[in-house]
Structure 1
């Protein structure tokens, strides 16, 4: 099937390459000519495991192309809208101007019977406002939200845990759903649930899922605050809770909290839309979820300060991690960089390292010092802070190896990802977040 993907950022580039890998003929469209040139040359504009291989395979096969001309999307049977929806400057609501601009550019090139499939995360009610314009061009609009985890985006696209398609309850909508079934036939045949809903429900699924995940993370971080005050261990608490099948262990990792380009902005946009609908009280708890999350960054900084006896000025602190999560170079709303910047503001000599995100971090925060290698960051450090749980820090770094490089044996485990007993046994002052 011939597909177009409008918007070749994180979501769109992955979706285009993944769809080509399962046999579709895909054209990716983006207004950024530099990004298009890079993708057309097989160079991913961001770090994502397996994406470079999929790009190379798709380009080599001829099933994948990229263009900055919207007219090149003409002839596709399905057009996926995959543009960004950031927060509006100075506010919490989603900025939809990229969505509207993409549709404005696409409308003149639609044919009767085409399907426009929205994948962008939008406030509920957005699709209803777009559907009439798409129908006037003889096409049908469906909403097909994405559920990608950065670092696992290729896997999540090729082997999703569910597919959701929202459509109008009419003949055109039914036909469009059938077309999406063809697009995702390989996943459906492999047993992936295919859920058909109305447009509003499909929009709500993504926002509600992110709100729930954010709530779960902030819940265990709230418990970490209680654990610190009472002398309990939040990691053991999470293990015990996780054995309850009603709760589960995933996303019960206490620590510095969540960041990135999805959860923070999505829960704020979700709250803003609820308020516009006159139901702000229904999701008022999300404000506290957000507040708990941001408070964990304050707590991480305070733990470092306390560990150094309050003497931070001029002390060398190695910050291990810059991306908001491992297997990514995404620094949007990164707790790691937030902590590094705050420590630098207190007068510390902060050096940051990360396997993938250093260039992005240096462009955003040139005031920080950066080390290309983990060992260069550790050398002569008075304290070490783990803020992104890359394997290079979580699993592959031993207390003995680090001890031969650092000046002061203080380690702050901002992700509660280290073997605390092993580090203590090696003579380190280990400080977790709600963890003994």
Structure 2
């Protein structure tokens, strides 16, 4: 009999996972406690911008003309418990207010709501990023509170999605990690992921603790690499070097690699910053805090980049106050191909300059609505050209493709002065200089 899958939590991770499971051929039931979210998904509308996701929903959501009908949504826990052979838990684990530690209340609540409805054999699979040790605790809770008792197993299967590539990363993952305690759980997950495994995706079987640590370790390494090159950018500023050339040269070393060696205003978003902080907090609880003290400096370097961009802007405008200066900001999201503005370095820089008296106008291809709701006092424009009109300086802060393809000459005619600061080192300096702009990249004083 074909496996039936439920997905608990239909935010960024859950909506993508549910649509992808339907694409892989499974009957899927998505559950959420937010009525507005469920109504949107039932209409095939995406609660966030993610390339390819809306098309996938339209292909599978029941009730949409021409769809496979394999994907439905509900708010009923009893229906979910009865429907699913495998229950994927995809709820959020944000940073706890006023602390570094992660807030497990959504995961705990999901497990507590699901458990009473598990009356027959089932596998519950955690995908959320959690502190190591959580799976042990949740497995014990399920054994005690699910009517089926020991017939309800737990597994941990961390997600490695990149915003902007989430559909691709779910259907064609670069690796699948499953933390299991028994052969049945492993067998069921091999069945779920049979298609990507057949296509060559590595399938790594571990214990609970290792599966939980893989995600936080991967994010910590990534954060370290980004902050390393940003630290080198600080040194290049002091020594009149060029961090882009430095990154190119060290990137040819196979042991280092070229990826994530572009210096700039640092990382943000809803995952990387909170995940490395939660990792530090959990290591402290385990008595291993000294092992991760370096992450505190990684976090510090990252946050420092935002202030450095503000100061660089001030210097290039003559070193005085921002009062009366018109500043155009290209980019609001924390990364391109997303509408996510959570902990966005671009908006943080824009907000700091605004608070210091600058007249800031922001444009972003997809993040305008979210940016407005978070920073309503900033100015917003409907296009890059409108944002730049009359500006004393242009800040390039999110590396959207649209910005790399801008007409530098046309923008120059609209700006009050042709000064552009590249906070992502993603623009071609020669293109801008030929159009009469003074170009300045972070960590590239002589470029």
For residue 123 of structure 2, what is the aligned residue in structure 1?
A: 115
For residue 94 of structure 1, what is the aligned residue in structure 2?
A: 102
Report how far residue 315 of structure 1 moved. Answer: 1.2
SS of 2:414's partner is coil
Within 2, Cα distance between the matches of 1:427 and 1:374? 18
Report how far residue 166 of structure 1 moved. Answer: 0.2
Moved over 4 A (4+): none
SS of 1:205's partner is helix
Q: TM-score, normalised by structure 1?
A: 0.98
Determine whether 1:67 maps to 2:80: no
For 1:52-72, what per-residue CA distance to the aligned partner results, in whole angstroms no more than 9, with x for missing partners?
000100112110111111122
Determine whether 1:270 maps to 2:270: no
CA contact under 8 A between 1:303 and 1:431: conserved in structure 2?
no
For residue 336 of structure 1, what is the aligned residue in structure 2?
A: 346
Report how far residue 426 of structure 1 moved. Answer: 2.3
SS of 1:337's partner is helix
Report how far residue 241 of structure 1 moved. Answer: 1.0
SS of 1:340's partner is helix
For 1:1-43, what per-residue CA distance to the aligned partner results, in whole angstroms no more than 9, with x for missing partners?
2100000111001100111111111111010000110011111
Within 2, Cα distance between the matches of 1:242 and 1:114? 47
Q: Match for 2:399 among 389, 399, 404?
A: 389
Q: Match for 1:296 among 287, 296, 305?
A: 305
Aligned length: 431
For residue 189 of structure 1, what is the aligned residue in structure 2?
A: 198
Report how far residue 363 of structure 1 moved. Answer: 0.6
Ranges in structure 2 where 5+ consecutive residues have no aligned partner: 62-66
SS of 1:177's partner is helix
For 1:149-168, what per-residue CA distance to the aligned partner results, in whole angstroms no more than 9, with x for missing partners?
00010010010000000011
Within 2, Cα distance between the matches of 1:314 and 1:72? 59
Q: Map 1:247-266 onto structure 2 (within 5 A).
A: 247-266=256-275
For 1:310-349, what per-residue CA distance to the aligned partner results, in whole angstroms no more than 9, with x for missing partners?
3421111110000000000001000000000001011111
SS of 1:404's partner is helix
Q: TM-score, normalised by structure 2?
A: 0.95
Within 1, Cα distance between the matches of 2:391 and 2:109? 49
CA contact under 8 A between 1:87 and 1:95: conserved in structure 2?
yes
For residue 422 of structure 2, what is the aligned residue in structure 1?
A: 413
Q: Match for 2:32 among 30, 33, 47?
A: 30
For residue 146 of structure 1, what is the aligned residue in structure 2?
A: 159
Q: Please, what is the CA RMSD of the aligned residues?
A: 0.9
Q: Map 1:157-236 onto structure 2 (within 5 A).
A: 157-168=170-181, 173-236=182-245
Within 2, Cα distance between the matches of 1:111 and 1:119? 22
SS of 1:258's partner is coil
CA contact under 8 A between 1:28 and 1:67: conserved in structure 2?
yes
For residue 435 of structure 2, what is the aligned residue in structure 1?
A: 426
